Structure 1
Amino acid sequence: MLNRRTLLAASAASGLAACARTGTPAGMLRVAIETLPDSLDPALGEFASAALVYKQIHAGLTDYAADGSVAPGIATRWRVAPDGLSWVFTLRQDARWSDGHSLTAQDVVWSARRLVDPEQSFANLGDFFAVANARAVLAGEMPPEAMGVTALDDHTLEVRLDTPLGLLPTLMREFYPFPRHAIEAHGRDWVRPENIVTAGAYTVTAASQMSLDLAKNPHFAGAAGVAIERIRIDAVRDAGTRTRMFRAGEYDLAEKPPGNQIGYWRERLGERFRSFDAPILRYLKVNHARPALVAPATRQALSAAIDRGFIAANFFDNTARATHRVIPQEDEPLDPVDLHGSRLRPTIDRELPDRVEIRTVPGVSEQIAIAIADDWQRVGVEAELLVSYPTDLYQAIDSGDFDIAVASFNRGLKSDPFFMLDPFAPSGFAANFNWDSPDFATAMEMARRESDPVVRAIAYREAERILLADQAVIPLLHERAHWLVSNRVTGTRSDVQPMLWRDLGLADA
């Protein structure tokens, strides 16, 4: 088995030679990311890279302001009924798809139904968990038309809820309506470059397994303020290669430099190396259906055996913060806490399984898995690593074919505590580890009802305590987001990740 010493030596020597390119196309932003989206269809995409690209090509019902807050999108204004059970959104009169077709409230209704219809998508409730009848539609008990989303006229939309949800406009920033006319004409091929129709600042002009070409959408409502005409997105899987290519001038933006070389690259890149506070959680997903892992004491003991400080120091140059929590807390104690706030001190004897499998993907996640396996070996647990590409890992987790998986999510521009905990709620995208807690579900539902942000944060803390008391997942790190930004790029902010490329400019364009 690899141990810490061989792991760190291999990490320091890892990386591929950078590929050379010549010339910089005028007016083109060149971006390097780890992987391309698994689908350009928001009803199907699951990768973090999909969420990033969607921000460029699709338009939300509401939108992100430059500081990450809620701003008008397809809808210019909205209001809520006194009982909190109905929201009315008014759409902009000039809303258009990239092919010039009008974007109407009927398109929005059709899109909401498509998202939860198991016959049309990888149906899940997502941000529609509180919408009237959405759960019944998802279960096939009611037709999509029964869902509580209605077009009052071409430019007015009503959303009816089962329970109040003060965050609905915030959630609608990443509800991207679909072009019904394009989907009905081309089926799942509607996302091919020759067929795709979008409503965002950009549309797709070319696509391959390794790159995407985007062009400015002249019908985007804010097109007059979009300075960059073209974007080239390349998938460069190896973080070291991605960073060296950026330094060589091949890219203007590059995400995720090597975690264990943060100090090295910060020194060499200077102001081009940017770090941001970000809602990123690295954790272990535990399969509660495995008999050897079913006892909370076992999961607590596995958690207690992990040297989080070693991981933070060696793989993130101490830019990540070791944690036992899901929601960040400035004065977090070193020990995990129980439901009532008391410190948990699980024993590491007689509670641990003899053997577990750790699933992971290549890169820093694999390095973390090796370090954890070394920690567990020290307390008598044999850990076998299974390394695969992200698609294979996701399929294994969704089918329940895993013991423990190294997982992470980056909530991007979302900063409310809700967005850190919600992935683990019954309808959340990360709730695929066979854990069922009625108390947690009730606590989450109560928290979601709150419209006051202070009260809501307190409510989510209560829900988090239930999750942690059962050690449903094993938090490891709260990470920062690191981006490499060339001197060509203008319009970036010091406090917000450069994820809205429509707001950027190029100094030499």
Structure 2
Amino acid sequence: MLNRRALLAASAATGLAACARIDKPDGLLRVAIETLPDSLDPALGEFASAALVYKQIHAGLTDYASDGSVAPGIATRWRVAPDGLSWVFTLREDARWSDGHPLTAQDVVWSARRLVNPQQSFANLGDFFAVANARAVLAGEMPPEAMGFTALDDHTVEVRLDTPLGLLPTLMREFYPFPRHAIEAHGRDWIRPENIVTAGAYTVTATSQMSLDLAKNPHYAGAAGVSIGRIRIDAVRDAGTRTRMFRAGEYDLAEKPPGNQIGYWRERLGDRFRSFDAPILRYLKVNHARPGLDTAAARRALSVAIDRGFIAANFFDNTARATHRIIPEDGEALDPVDLHGSRLRPTIDPELPRRVEIRTVPGVSEQIAIAIADDWRRVGVEAELLVSYPTDLYQAIDSGDFDVAVASFNRGLKADPFFMLDPFVSGGFAANFNWDNPDFAAEMELARRESDPVVRAIAYRAAEAILIADQAVIPLLHERAHWLVSDRIAGTRADVQPMLWRDLGLANA
């Protein structure tokens, strides 16, 4: 097991790449990301990279404005009933799929039913948790047709709810309708390049295990404003390699430079190194079913033994903020303070296990795990690291085969506190650690129903307080998003991550 001294020595090593002249094909945006999507089908994809690619190739019922707020998408306008229990979305009359086939309200309704049908997708309620009968459909108690989505005509969709949901238009930014005609013709092969049909700014022209090729969709509603004609996306798993290739001119846009080399690359890349406030949480997922980890006192003792400041300073060059909370808060204290204001002592609780296995993936997560293991060893807990690829880690967590796992999520352009807490609600994508608190669920339900943002924020804080009091997870850091942006690219914003490539411009400089 590496200790802190060896860890820092290893992470300080940085290779340099020759700045060779690289050809820059006209009209081609070259992007490097960590991993490719696990599926191009939004009903099946779960990786963060899938969410990024979906923003390019699929179109939401509503959409992201350039500042990240809600804008018209397939639907041009929407209205809510006075009781808050139904919404009506009016679609573009000229909406088309990339093959020219009309995109209709019937496609939207069919797609919503497919997403919640366990026979058609990796079904969960997701953004449809408040839709009438969605829970019963997911449980197999009612047919998909009973779900509260109805086509009133070819261009009008009604969404009926069990409870009011003021955030529904915000959630619908990433509800991507499916091309029913293509899926019925090709089944699961509909996402192959020769078959795929999309409604976003781009469609897929070629795929491999390491790359995706995209081309502008001429039938996209905003096609006249899309200036980049082609995009090449490469998977470059190693952050250092990805960054050096960007510096050498092989990419125009690259995500996630090495967290432990932020200062080094920021100095060398200058204005090409961009940092953004982002809804990113790094935390420890703790299996509440494991003996020794099944009490709040034990989880809290593990939490306060962690030197978060060391992690933030040495692996993120202080661009990440140490935290004991879920929702980012300006000026939050770094000291371990409980909800009643009393200081938590980093002592060993008698219920603490003597040994804990930490699951992680290679890279900065592994370095974080090593530092945490060193912290825990100081208070008498032996930690063993198990490093694996992301898919193996996800499978282990979903099957309950873990003690503690280094986890993170990046909600992308979703800034509302809802998106930081909702993953931990029963059925959420991060709620796979054997914890279910009815009080937390009730506060979240209250927040969802509330349309007043001030009242909703109060409910979110109450829900967060319950999660923290139980130390359901162990928050570590609120991170910033870092992107490498070449001088060729125009149209980026200083306050929003460059995740909507349709809005970018490209010079052949």
The CA deviation at 1:457 is 1.1
After superposition, the Cα gap between the structure-2 partners of 1:182 and 1:342, relative to the gap in structure 1 and judged at 3 Å, is: farther
Query: Are 2:265 and 1:262 equivalent residues in the alignment?
Result: no
Relative distance call for 1:455 and 1:346 in structure 2 (3 A) is: farther
1: CA distance, partners of 2:307 / 2:212: 40
Q: Paired residue for 2:135?
A: 135
Is the Cα contact below 8 Å between 2:19 and 2:247 reproduced in 1?
no
Which position in structure 2 is the counterpart of 1:47? 47
Deviation at 1:427, TM superposition (A): 2.6
Q: Structure 1 residue 313 and structure 2 residue 319: aligned?
A: no
Residue 188 of structure 1 aligns with an amino acid whose one-letter code is R
TM-score by length of 2: 0.98
Distance in 2, Cα, partners of 1:61 & 1:350: 52
- The answer to whether the 8 Å contact 1:74/1:91 transfers is yes
- 1:201 matches 2:189: no
Distance 1:238 1:19, change over 3 A: farther
Matched residues in 1 for 2:15 and 2:306: separation? 27
- 1:258 maps to a residue whose letter is P
Alignment of 1:485-496 (within 5 A): 485-496=485-496
- Structure 2 counterpart of 1:241: 241
Deviates more, 1:341-350 or 1:438-447: 341-350
SS of 2:267's partner is helix
Residue 482 of structure 2 corresponds to 482
Pairs within 5 Å for 1:345-494: 345=345, 347-494=347-494
Report if the CA contact (8 A) 1:340-1:465 is conserved: no
Q: CA deviation at 1:23?
A: 2.0
Shift of 1:350: 1.9
Within-5 A mapping of 1:207-246: 207-246=207-246
Residue deviations 1:205-262 (CA, integer Å, cap 9, x gap): 0001100000000000000000000000001111111111111100000011111111
SS for the counterpart of 2:292 is helix
Equivalent residue, structure 2, for 1:89: 89
Partner of 1:149: 149
Asked if the contact 2:22/2:249 (under 8 Å) is kept, the reply is: no
Secondary structure (helix, strand or coil) at the match of 1:233 reads strand
SS at match of 1:11: helix
Measure the CA separation in 2 of the matches of 1:75 and 1:342.
50
Inter-CA distance 327–342: structure 2 relative to 1 (3 Å threshold) = farther
The 1:341/1:225 distance shift into structure 2, 3 A limit, reads farther
Deviation at 1:349, TM superposition (A): 3.9
How far residue 425 of structure 1 moved from its aligned partner, in angstroms, is 1.1
Q: Percent identity?
A: 90
**Equivalent residue, structure 2, for 1:276:** 276
Cα deviations by residue, 1:296-346 (Å, 9 ceiling, x for unpaired): 100000001100000000000000000000001113233445455655446
Structure 1 residue 38 displacement after superposition: 0.6
- SS of 1:97's equivalent? coil
AA matched with 1:141: E
Q: 1:460 to 1:221 in 2, by over 3 A?
A: same
* 2:355–2:382 contact (8 Å) kept in structure 1: yes
CA–CA distance in structure 1, aligned partners of residues 306 and 279 of structure 2: 22
Answer whether contact 1:278 1:415 (CA < 8 A) is retained: yes
For 1:212 and 1:400, how far apart are their aligned partners in 2? 33
**Secondary structure of 1:162 counterpart:** coil
- Structure 2 counterpart SS, 1:353: coil
1:337 and 1:469 in contact (8 A); partners too: no
In structure 1, what residue type is equivalent to 2:56?
Q
What is the distance in 2 between the residues matched to 1:120 and 1:476?
36
Query: C-alpha separation between the residues in 2 aligned to 1:150 and 1:426?
Result: 27
Alpha-carbon distance in structure 2 between the residues aligned to 1:214 and 1:397: 33
8 Å Cα contact 1:17-1:241 kept in structure 2? no
Check if 1:188 corresponds to 2:169. Answer: no
Distance 2:157 2:16 in 1: 51
Instruction: Provide the residue aligned with 1:333 in structure 2.
Output: 333
Quick check: 1:297–1:346 contact (8 Å CA) kept in 2? no
Q: Which residue of 2 aligns with 1:32?
A: 32
Deviation at 1:394, TM superposition (A): 0.7
Question: Which one-letter code corresponds to 1:284 in the other structure?
Answer: L
Q: Would you say the 8 A contact 2:256–2:483 is kept in 1?
A: yes
Structure 1 distance, partners of 2:17, 2:487, is: 23
Q: Which residue number in structure 2 is paired with residue 61 of structure 1?
A: 61
Relative distance call for 1:21 and 1:127 in structure 2 (3 A) is farther
AA partner of residue 41 (structure 2):
D
Matched residue SS, 1:432: coil
Q: How does 1:104-183 map to 2 (within 5 A)?
A: 104-183=104-183
The answer as to whether partners of 2:97 and 2:199 remain within 8 angstroms in 1 is yes
Q: Any idea what SS the aligned residue of 2:478 has? A: strand
Deviation at 1:12, TM superposition (A): 2.1
Once the two structures are overlaid, the 10-residue window that deviates more, 217-226 or 386-395, is 386-395
SS in 1 for 2:443: helix
Q: CA RMSD in A?
A: 1.6
2:309 and 2:429 mapped to 1: Cα distance? 28
Q: Is the CA contact 2:247–2:269 (under 8 Å) kept in the aligned structure 1?
A: yes
- Aligned residue for 2:436, secondary structure, equals coil
Give the distance between the partners of 2:149 and 2:15, measured in 1 at CA: 50
Note if contact 1:283-1:477 (Cα within 8 Å) is conserved in structure 2: yes
Q: Do the aligned residues in 1 keep the contact of 2:425 with 2:436 (CA within 8 Å)? A: no
From the superposition, tell whether residues 21 and 47 of structure 1 become closer, same or farther in structure 2 (CA, over 3 Å).
Answer: farther
In structure 1, what residue type is equivalent to 2:415? S
Letter in 2 for 1:311: I
| Number of equivalent positions | 509
Mean CA deviation greater in 120-129 or 15-24:
15-24
Structure 1 residues 18 and 392, CA, compared in 2 at 3 Å: closer, same or farther?
A: farther
CA contact 1:15–1:239 (8 Å) conserved in 2: no
Unaligned runs of 5+ in 2: none
Gaps of 5+ in 1: none
Distance, in Å, in 2 between the alignment partners of 1:387 and 1:182 is 40
Q: Residues 15, 280 of structure 1: CA spacing in aligned structure 2 closer, same or farther, 3 A cutoff?
A: farther
CA distance in 1 between partners of 2:100 and 2:293 (Å): 55
In the alignment, the residues of structure 2 paired with residue 288 and residue 478 of structure 1 have an alpha-carbon distance, to the nearest angstrom, of 23
Match of 2:475, SS?
strand
Deviation larger for 432-441 or 20-29: 20-29
- C-alpha contact 1:70 1:173 (8 A) present in aligned 2: yes
Q: Give the distance between the partners of 1:109 and 1:340, measured in 2 at CA.
A: 48
Partner Cα separation in structure 2 for residue 492 and residue 200 of structure 1: 19
